[in-house]
């Protein structure tokens, strides 16, 4: 599902092909031939670095191992150097995700025991439902939508299991409290609670993080708690990590994935971190939208209109379709297309201070110097 007429060079195009979660045997054969043709021309150091930056290294390793892409029937030697780096990354991530699932089950069981409204977002939910293998998607934390009051109650419930609100110490052995200034800044400016952390002894995990989100669509303005309660009222039961839980409805999940993607692509904080654009986020959106039926397309479009988040959703869908043609229904893209499309070429909209990019999306996606183009990008304080 990769666009062979795309503006990307052969390096970037090869990475897109290698990280295709829908890779079929026929496509794998074409990719194998491509790797042979480009042997000696591809910079595998660049490819591995970019795959890690975009959180698709395990996915690349899975495809390389599953289809034995490093072997061509007409070549004596491997066409992929350092293939063990790729396949080992997949295997390590698979084991890591299995260990995380056990911890996430504890968190979900605690939430269920309190009987409070909540909805699981992203993470293990996507890994288990939308991806063909548990080791493909790299998970960092478990993310729950709930009100501030209920998040504090669940945080207290998790304390006996070793979770504390704070940041991991430099040696990784304990959780340190956030400063008063950081707590105040986040409470006034961020729609997420500061994370709850727990050091972990598993060599593949190191730590487990629980994040609480209080408003999925902050750009919609005041009334965040009412919007959150409406999302939670539409949540549906699911079994994930082997335990009962609650997740967003299909329509809300797609909106959430799109708004989350644009929020991080647009915000100066994530630009400063270099995590504003990642292939893994676009793949999440593609995996979700590619399954939409015509009836679901209409439901998603109605929800986007209801929430007033057309620009954010359009940004996510537009560039997802550019990267992975055929994954976003055309009717959905047409339905959410805003009259003003400056969101595609500017950043800082959600902060109320838009500024233009001077490079194209394709140039920025694989650039390591995006922050230089956004000199006003800065980190949120976490001390």
Return the percentage of the chain with pLDDT > 90, whole number. 81
Distance in angstroms (rounded) separating the CA atoms of residues 92 and 131:
17
Taking alpha carbons only, the member of 123, 110, 124, 122 closest to residue 242 is 124
Residues 251-273 pLDDT 10s: 999 999 999 999 999 999 899 99
Residue 245 pairs in a beta bridge with 238
Distance in angstroms (rounded) separating the CA atoms of residues 174 and 53:
27
* Average of per-residue pLDDT across 68-72: 95
* Tokens encoding 356: 């233009």
* Tokens encoding 81: 């150097």
> Would you state the pLDDT for residue 112?
97
Distance in angstroms (rounded) separating the CA atoms of residues 246 and 272:
33
pLDDT of 183 higher than 60: yes
What residue ranges in 281-376 does DSSP mark as E strands?
A: 346-347, 355-356
* Average of per-residue pLDDT across 8-23: 93
Residues 211-234 pLDDT 10s: 999 998 876 666 678 899 999 999
pLDDT of 13 higher than 70: yes
Mean pLDDT of the chain: 92
């Amino acid at each position: 599902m990769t666009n062979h007429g795309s503006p990307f060079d052969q390096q970037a195009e090869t990475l897109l092909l290698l990280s295709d979660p829908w890779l079929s045997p026929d496509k794998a054969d074409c990719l194998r031939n491509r790797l042979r043709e480009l042997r000696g021309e591809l910079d595998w150091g660049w490819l591995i670095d970019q795959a890690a930056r975009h959180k698709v290294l395990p996915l690349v390793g899975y495809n390389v191992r599953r289809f034995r892409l490093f072997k061509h029937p007409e070549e004596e030697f491997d066409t992929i150097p350092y293939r063990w780096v790729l396949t080992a990354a997949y295997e390590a991530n698979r084991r890591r995700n299995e260990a995380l699932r056990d911890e996430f089950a504890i968190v979900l069981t605690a939430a269920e025991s309190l009987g409070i409204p909540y909805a699981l977002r992203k993470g293990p939910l996507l890994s288990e439902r939308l991806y063909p293998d548990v080791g493909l998607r790299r998970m960092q934390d478990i993310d729950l939508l709930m009100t501030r009051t209920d998040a504090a109650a669940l945080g207290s419930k998790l304390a006996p299991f070793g979770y504390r609100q704070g940041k991991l110490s430099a040696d990784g052995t304990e959780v340190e409290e956030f400063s008063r200034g950081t707590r105040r800044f986040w409470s006034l400016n961020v729609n997420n609670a500061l994370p709850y952390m727990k050091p972990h002894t598993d060599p593949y995990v190191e730590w487990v993080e629980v994040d609480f989100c209080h408003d999925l669509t902050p750009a919609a303005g005041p009334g965040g708690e009412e919007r959150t309660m409406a999302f939670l009222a539409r949540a549906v039961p699911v079994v994930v990590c082997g335990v009962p839980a609650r997740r967003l409805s299909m329509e809300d999940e797609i909106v959430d994935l799109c708004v989350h993607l644009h929020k991080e692509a647009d915000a100066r904080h994530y630009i400063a971190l270099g995590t504003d654009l990642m292939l893994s986020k676009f793949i999440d959106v593609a995996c979700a939208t590619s399954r939409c039926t015509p009836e679901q397309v209409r439901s998603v479009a109605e929800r986007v209109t209801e929430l007033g988040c057309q620009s954010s959703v359009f940004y996510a869908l537009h560039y997802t379709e550019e990267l992975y043609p055929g994954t976003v229904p055309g009717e959905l893209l047409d339905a959410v297309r805003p009259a003003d499309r400056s969101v595609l070429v500017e950043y800082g909209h959600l902060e109320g201070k838009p500024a233009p990019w001077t490079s194209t999306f394709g140039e920025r996606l694989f650039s390591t110097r995006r922050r230089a183009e956004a000199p006003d990008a800065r980190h949120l304080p976490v001390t």
